[in-house]
């Protein structure tokens, strides 16, 4: 069992190392180092914060020690990444990239985890029911709408939802994380308002997610229902409900959880853009603004934070898997 956890931990470390290496190498591959070029361009434009920008250039020179040999730069870079010190934001100097990200992270984590969990649970259960022969027949008509829903990327569904539920029928706020007048603080009124604002973004992930999870689960259930142990369960005279839950769903859930872990990447990527569409104050919007202003340190910071957090989630799912499937955790005697 320990060997299994160690292996999955190794994978997580590898992912983090991979992400930081890409962040380090890619800018240096481009013909002209984009960071350096952006800084010089900002300095040459002059503008109010001219002196600040000169400090940024100096900071950048010192930090990356461009004269040092490449591998030394690389080691410094890795060390910074481990300490989650992504350097300074060019756009709103002297704020540290990490602080900006930390302010936005809770927004993303809350609404994303809630949405994904609901989508996975409801979608999986619905998919299982559709595949179950003794389930009510009308469920079969859900397949076509579910197919359409799963075909729409989250953020485009978001657009449609804003237009219908916010613009035309004005049930939900148009976007943002909370009403403009409010100051973010942890009291009930603010939290309720923030929740109201997070409903549409979450809904776009839930609706689209339900579609794809349901169809995925339906496929798994169809093959599981053909297994011998289902036939014996029925031969034992077990109630339909029990054969459905403890024999069919319980086994079809295994590959479904694996595909949840594998889909984490696309889910996170979609969520980033959902935030952009809704102007939701999560790391997605931060990334979007950083891209538009070519604020490299913030971009790399956000990318690293998302990859690391998704890595943690995948690691958690991997460790959870042997609990679901005893064959994995027990080494064959």
Partner 1 sequence: MNGYVVQVENLKVYYPTSSGPVKAVDGVSFNLGAREKLGLVGESGCGKSTLALSLLRLIKPPGRIEGGRILLNGVDLTQLSWDKMRRVRLNQISLIPQGAMNSLNPVMRVRNQIMDGMRAHNQSMSRQELEARVYETLELVGLERNVATMYPHELSGGMKQRVCVAIAISLRPQVVVADEPTSALDVVVQRQVMETIGQLQEELGAAVILIGHDMGLMAQFVERLAVMYAGRLVEAGGIREVFRQPLHPYTQLLISSVPLLDEKGVFRGIPGLTPSLLHVPSGCIFHPRCPQAQDTCTEEVPPLVEVGPSRWVACHRHEVER
Partner 2 sequence: MAARPARDISLIRRHPQLITGLAILLVLIVIGPVGSLFVDTKEAKVGAALPDLPPSARYPLGTDTYGRNLLPMLFLGTPQTIKIGLLAGAIGLGVGIILGFVAGYTGGIVDNIIRGAADILLTVPGLLLLVVIAVSIKGTVSVNMMAIVVSILAWMWPTRTIRAQVLTLREREFVRMAKLGGMKGAEIIVRELVPNLLPYLASSFVGAVASAILATIGLEALGLGPQNQPTLGMTIYWALYYTAVLRGLWWWWAPPIVIIVLTFMGLFLVSAGLDQIANPRLRRLT
Partner 3 sequence: MTALLELRNVTKVYTRGTFVRSGTVALDDVSLSAGGGTPAITALAGESGSGKTTMGLLLLGFLTPTSGQVLYDGQDLRKLSSQEWDTFRRDVQAIFQDPFAVYNPFYKVDHVLEVPIHKFRLAKSHAEARTLMEQALVGVGLRPEETLGRYAHQLSGGQLQRVTVARALLLKPRLIVADEPVSMVDASLRATILESLRKLNREFGISILYITHDLTTAYHIGDSIVVLYQGSMVEIGHVDPVIKNPQHPYTQLLVASIPWPDPDRKWQRTDKTALWREGLAKTAVGCKFADRCPKVMPMCRESTPPFYRIEPRRAVACYLHRDSPMIAAEEVTQLAL
Footprint on this chain of partner 1 (rule: CB under 8 A): 133, 227-229, 231-239, 242, 246-247, 250-251, 254, 324-327, 330, 332-333
Residue 247 Cβ vs partner 1, minimum distance, rounded to whole Å:
6
Residue 3 Cβ vs partner 3, minimum distance, rounded to whole Å:
6
How many Å apart are CA 196 and CA 213, to the nearest integer? Answer: 25
Q: Is 3 in the site for partner 3 (CB under 8 A)?
A: yes
211: which 2 tokens?
């579609």
According to CB under 8 A, which residues from 14 to 73 bind partner 2?
14-15, 18-19, 22-23, 26-27, 29-30, 32, 34, 37
List Cβ neighbours of 167 (8 Å cut-off, separation of 6 or more).
174
Residue 331: name its binding partner from partner 3, partner 1, partner 2, none (Cβ under 5 to 8 Å by kind).
partner 3
According to CB under 8 A, which residues from 109 to 148 bind partner 3?
none
Q: Is 276 in the site for partner 2 (CB under 8 A)?
A: yes
Write the binding mask 247 to 266 for partner 2: x where contact by CB under 8 A, - elsewhere.
--------------xx-xxx
Are 8 and 318 in contact, with CB atoms under 8 Å apart? yes
Binding residue for partner 2 (CB under 8 A) from 90, 200, 206, 287?
287
How many Å apart are CA 176 and CA 104, to the nearest integer? Answer: 12
According to CB under 8 A, which residues from 5 to 24 bind partner 3?
7
Q: Alpha-carbon Rg of the chain, whole angstroms?
A: 24
Q: Which is nearer to partner 1, 156 or 238 (CB)?
A: 238
Are 189 and 217 in contact, with CB atoms under 8 Å apart? no
Residue 167: name its binding partner from partner 3, partner 2, partner 1, none (Cβ under 5 to 8 Å by kind).
partner 2
Residue 3: name its binding partner from partner 3, partner 1, partner 2, none (Cβ under 5 to 8 Å by kind).
partner 3
Q: Is 153 in the site for partner 2 (CB under 8 A)?
A: yes
Q: Is 163 in the site for partner 2 (CB under 8 A)?
A: yes
Residue 242: name its binding partner from partner 1, partner 2, partner 3, none (Cβ under 5 to 8 Å by kind).
partner 1
3-state secondary structure the chain: CHHHHHHHHHHHHHHHHHHHHHHHHHHHHCCCCHHHHHHHHHHHHCCCCHHHHHHHHHHHHHHHCCCCCHHHHHHHHHHHHHCCCCCECCCCCCCEHHHHHHHHHHHHHHHHHHHHHHHHHHHHHHHHHHHCCCCCHHHHHHHHHHHHHHHCCHHHHHHHHHHHHHHHCCCCCCCCCCCCCCCCCCCHHHHHHHHHHHHHHHHHHHHHHHHHHHHHHHHHHHHHHCCHHHHHHHHCCCCHHHHHHHHHHHHHHHHHHHHHHHHHHHHHHHHHHHHHHHCCCCHHHHHHHHHHCCCHHHHHHHHHHHHHHHHHHHHHHHHHHHHHCHHHHCCCC
Q: How many residues bind partner 2 (CB under 8 A)?
A: 63
Binding residue for partner 2 (CB under 8 A) from 1, 58, 82, 222?
222
Q: Is 273 in the site for partner 2 (CB under 8 A)?
A: yes
Length of the chain in terms of residues written: 333
Q: Which is nearer to partner 2, 153 or 322 (CB)?
A: 153
Q: Is 133 in the site for partner 2 (CB under 8 A)?
A: no
Binding residues (CB under 8 A) for partner 2: these are 11, 14-15, 18-19, 22-23, 26-27, 29-30, 32, 34, 37, 143-144, 147-148, 150-153, 155-156, 159-160, 162-163, 167, 174-175, 215, 219, 222-223, 226, 261-262, 264-266, 268-270, 272-273, 276-277, 287-288, 291-292, 294, 296, 299-300, 302-303, 306-307, 310-311, 314
Q: Which residues bind partner 3 (CB under 8 A)?
A: 3, 7, 331, 333
């Amino acid at each position: 069992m320990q060997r299994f956890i160690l292996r999955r931990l190794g994978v997580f470390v590898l992912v983090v190392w991979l992400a930081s290496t890409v962040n380090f190498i890619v800018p240096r591959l481009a013909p002209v180092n984009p960071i350096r070029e952006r800084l010089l361009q900002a300095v040459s434009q002059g503008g109010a914060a001219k002196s600040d920008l000169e400090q940024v250039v100096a900071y950048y020179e010192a930090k990356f020690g461009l004269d040092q040999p490449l591998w030394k730069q690389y080691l410094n870079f890795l060390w910074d990444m481990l300490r989650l010190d992504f350097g300074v934001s060019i756009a709103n100097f002297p704020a540290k990239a990490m602080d900006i990200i930390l302010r936005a992270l809770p927004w993303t984590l809350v609404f994303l985890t809630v949405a994904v969990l609901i989508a996975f649970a409801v979608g999986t259960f619905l998919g299982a029911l559709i595949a179950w022969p003794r389930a009510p027949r009308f469920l079969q008509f859900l397949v076509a709408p579910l197919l359409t829903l799963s075909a729409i990327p989250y953020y485009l569904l978001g657009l449609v939802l804003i237009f219908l539920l916010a613009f035309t029928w004005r049930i939900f706020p148009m976007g943002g994380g909370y009403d403009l007048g409010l100051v973010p603080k942890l009291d009930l009124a603010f939290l309720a308002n923030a929740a109201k604002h997070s409903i549409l973004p979450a809904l776009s992930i839930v609706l689209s997610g339900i579609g794809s999870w349901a169809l995925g689960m339906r496929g798994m259930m169809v093959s599981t229902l053909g297994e011998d142990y289902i036939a014996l369960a029925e031969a034992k005279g077990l109630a339909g409900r029990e054969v459905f839950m403890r024999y069919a769903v319980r086994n079809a859930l295994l590959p479904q959880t694996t595909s949840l872990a594998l889909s984490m990447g696309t889910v996170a990527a979609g969520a980033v853009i959902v935030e952009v569409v809704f102007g939701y104050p999560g790391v997605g919007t931060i990334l979007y603004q950083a891209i538009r202003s070519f604020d490299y340190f913030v971009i790399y910071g956000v990318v690293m934070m998302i990859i690391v957090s998704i890595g943690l989630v995948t690691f958690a799912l991997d460790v959870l898997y042997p609990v679901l499937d005893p064959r994995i955790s027990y080494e064959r005697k």
